[in-house]
């Protein structure tokens, strides 16, 4: 994702997913030579509930992005397709 796209996405997440209040959200640039995703990605660390996961899924799908659930959080990124 481009930086401007990340800003729009983060604003939407904050506005529509109040259950994520208190989460740690990190913005990380892609530095790998052949990355699985382009530009920046968002890493969210929190205790996810069904409500917060559902909210994030709706937003991610609405922006045609991908979401990967990891043991230490969720990564939201733009897939290289």
DSSP tag of 46: S
pLDDT tens track, the chain, 81 positions: 888 999 999 999 999 999 888 899 998 887 755 556 668 889 999 888 899 999 999 999 999 999 999 888 999 988 765
pTM of the model: 0.83
Res 47: pLDDT:
86
Domain segments of the chain: what residues? Answer: 3-79
Pairwise CA distance, residues 19 & 23, whole Å: 9
């Amino acid at each position: 994702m481009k930086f401007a796209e990340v800003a729009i996405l983060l604003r939407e997440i904050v506005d529509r997913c109040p259950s994520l209040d208190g989460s740690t959200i990190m913005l990380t640039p892609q530095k790998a030579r052949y990355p699985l995703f382009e530009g920046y990605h968002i890493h969210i660390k929190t205790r996810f509930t069904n409500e917060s996961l559902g909210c994030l899924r709706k937003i991610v799908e609405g922006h045609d992005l991908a979401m990967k659930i990891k043991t230490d959080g969720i990564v939201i990124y733009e897939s290289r397709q």
